[in-house]
Amino acid sequence: MAIRTIITEPNKLLRQISQPVNGVGKEERKLMDDMLETMYDANGIGLAAIQVGVPKRIIVMDISKDENKKEPRYFVNPVIKNKDPEKATYEEGCLSVPNQFAEIDRPSKCEVEYLDYDGEKKLLKADGLLATCIQHEMDHLEGILFIDYLSKLKRSIIIKKLSKKKSTAAVL
Ligand code: ZN
């Protein structure tokens, strides 16, 4: 396994639409292993492949808070089958939008069909944080970030802050 570099906003790659994979083979599993390690290293609970610069419809997640009891989840070619009309609000952040947080409304429950780590077809009924996290990560596959749900003004303030940080870093 290897830790990969997480791309941060603003970056055009994050706006790219990711493509489905043909199945789960060695290459996909290696990518998922790397993504999981990268996510744990960055203290995240979810990561989409595009966040490490790979435009494939692959997501890894672990919403268990317990360090000793890891519960990695893998979603390949995920498709949302059903969304609850009821909304839930969570304060969201994103490894690609560092140190920025905002309350976002999303459907409180969803059903997602996907291939797992072994390439087997699965259907998951998710609610709570899991439902929010799945929808946040699946947005990445469409080139959407959580800040896109904010007002134009709020979003531009955040992007400005992030761009500033980037340019300072480049001076070193
Ligand atoms: Zn994210």
What are the tokens at 5? 């570099």
59 Cα: distance to centroid of ligand 1 (angstroms): 10
Beta bridge partners of 46: 61
Torsion over CA: 125, 63, 38, 8 (sign): positive
96 Cα: distance to centroid of ligand 1 (angstroms): 6
Dump pLDDT digits (tens) for 58-113.
999 999 977 788 999 999 999 999 999 999 999 999 999 999 999 999 999 999 99
Dump pLDDT digits (tens) for 109-150.
999 999 999 999 999 999 999 999 999 999 999 999 999 999
Topology at the third CATH level for domain 12-171 = Peptide Deformylase (3.90.45)
Residue with tokens 């997602």: 112
Catalytic machinery residues: 137
Distances (CA, A) of 73 to 45, 60, 130, 159: 10, 6, 10, 30
98 Cα: distance to centroid of ligand 1 (angstroms): 10
